[in-house]
Amino acid sequence: MRRPASRNLAVLAVTAALVSVGAAAPPEAAPAENAPAKVPVAVGYGGAVASVDVDASAAGIEVLREGGNAVDAAVATAAALGVTEPYSSGIGGGGYFVYYDARTRSVHTIDGRETAPLTADSGLFLENGKPIRFADAVTSGLGVGTPGTPATWQTALDQWGSAGLGTVLAPAERLARDGFTVDDTFRAQTASNEARFRNFPDTAKLFLPNGQLPVVGSTFKNPDLARTYAELGRKGVGLVYRGDLGKEVVATVNKPPVDPFSGWNARPGKLSERDLAAYRARLQAPTKTSYRGLNVYSIAPSSSGGTTVGEALNILGHTDLSKASQAQYLHHFIEASRIAFADRGRWVGDPAFEDVPTRQLLSQKYADSRACLVKDDAVLTSPLAPGDPRRPAACSTGGTAAPTTYEGENTTHLTVADKWGNVVSYTLTIEQTGGSGITVPGRGFLLNNELTDFSFAPANPAVHDPNLPGPGKRPRSSISPTIVLDRHNRPVVAVGSPGGATIITTVLQTLTGFLDRHLPLVDAIAAPRASQRNAARTELEPGLYDSDTRAALESLGHSFSLNPEIGAATGVQRLPDGRWLAAAEKVRRGGGSAQVVHPAP
């Protein structure tokens, strides 16, 4: 587990569960005696935070203790994740923010997705008329989109927060300055990127101290990021979009500071100061789906999360999953996912550029026309053709199928609630583990490679692809931060996960495990996962791949491949007596950290 090297942060953020602190870190880490332990579930009062990291959750709890609300704490937690989870998030990336306002009992969202340069067109990733290699786009300036995270933070604070940016960045600034204790996950993620990082001297200097992988148990400090956070706190996010930091980002993207002896062709990007100045985090209405008498809210396009999870829930509403066997439950879950992904690939893109039929995709009438494809004793074949939500036809299999494109899997998610009943579900990312691999010199953060979420060429030349690049366009995402309310619009549960396209299936499985199978939230999060994304084979984690359930599903016609780990969810639940329950992973990504302000006895 990671433990903060700062005594102040540790003392202010006491753990939410009565557990003993594990073995002490090496002397150089100097952990505080009262440092919070990393536990996956916590119950209590005053607010709750769940994230993948103990220091990040502690930063959010600190802000809640000092009177901040859920929005303030969410930004504080996200900023701390930029320190301890720098390969998954940070101010060089983007994300989607979903907020429940307890006073008005309403849900609001922010699309903070990165955008393509204003000079981009559908041929952004073509050379000589052919798509470049994916690996060449990943580690390049060409894959870097205009960062949306700083604008998301400021927009959220301006709309619903109670504290200033400098106040909520303070815990993360301190964490970056004083350091955190390296764990196995951080070292392993660094090792998986070591070759890429060595191509860029600034990245290697930061993440490979003295030319070596960081040692588990050592203290990792990022003074450059501490200074960047301090400057952002003083000057505001205009520093990124109209100021010196933005100029530094543009220079780094357009002339990546690659080691000339590395041999790596770091293709230059096309970002401009005009792109940064034009960027806006979008305030937009959430998606809404009714399920089992509850109201399910999530993020609308440019993410496909809300529409795809919502359509799958509408399809599953035809089946009593609470009484189904494990195999029948997973069979219906897999088939609903397959159908929803088939429709996602055809219809969802950036609505500023594409005519996305969001309302029709979420209509029960359309779900009914697709649900009749699902049989108890047979399996649909992938890639499945999409339907037409504008003209629903019962059991239609017309149209041309398109495969699901790849999305980077390492993102991070946090879920926060406060004592007033406000809730935030927020997923942020720099795309795949390590983003572009390019660090802005002297600034302490990696740049995203989110533009690789675009289709490099049409997924199927026979049909329109809504996810091709365009000027200022946002690439399609699968991010699915979700908040579920009861019929009186009071919170029931909020969840979300990282994991690229597997985010959708992770959130869907967690919701159905909790709402239909009646698993405790922490167990719904921990349950072994399946992920079907309109592919020939469904991915299974070992807990299902090595089980009798797999054989039962194969007897129906399912085919499977092994995926060692799918997603890393967190959630919060409002209990009937007014307490909050925070839940995180038990094992995935080293386990998550659930904390509350005042632990219940």
581/574 Cα distance (integer angstroms)? 6
DSSP reduced 3-state for 316:
helix
Burial annotation 269-294 (CB, 10 A radius, 16+ → b, else e)? bbbbeebbeebebbebebbbbebeeb
Name the residue with tokens 């004793």. 377
Query: Beta strand pairing status for 560-562 and 538-540?
Result: parallel
Tokens read off for 182: 């390296």
Closest of 434, 477, 447, 452 to residue 143, by C-alpha:
452
DSSP reduced 3-state for 95:
strand
Say if residues 40 and 591 touch (Cβ distance below 8 Å). Answer: yes
Q: How crowded is residue 576: how many other Cβ atoms within 10 Å of its Cβ?
A: 5
Beta bridge partners of 130: 127
Active site residue 287: no
Say if residues 401 and 342 touch (Cβ distance below 8 Å). Answer: yes
510/519 Cα distance (integer angstroms)? 9
Query: Beta strand pairing status for 560-562 and 130-131?
Result: unpaired
Q: What is the CA radius of gyration of the chain?
A: 22
DSSP reduced 3-state for 447:
coil
Cα 140 to the center of its chain, rounded Å: 22
Backbone φ and ψ of 386, nearest 5°: -75, 160
Q: Which residue of the set 404, 411, 427, 502 is catalytic?
A: 411
Burial annotation 119-139 (CB, 10 A radius, 16+ → b, else e)? ebebebbeeeeeebeeebbbb
Say if residues 95 and 149 touch (Cβ distance below 8 Å). Answer: yes
Positive or negative torsion for Cα 489, 152, 2, 214: positive
Say if residues 495 and 569 touch (Cβ distance below 8 Å). Answer: yes
Tell me the C-alpha to C-alpha distance, in Å, between residue 181 and each of 32, 77, 83, 192: 11, 17, 11, 19
Closest of 100, 50, 40, 99 to residue 77, by C-alpha:
50
| Residue at 467: amino acid letter | N
Q: How crowded is residue 38: how many other Cβ atoms within 10 Å of its Cβ?
A: 26
Positive or negative torsion for Cα 574, 576, 578, 579: negative
**Catalytic amino acids?**
411
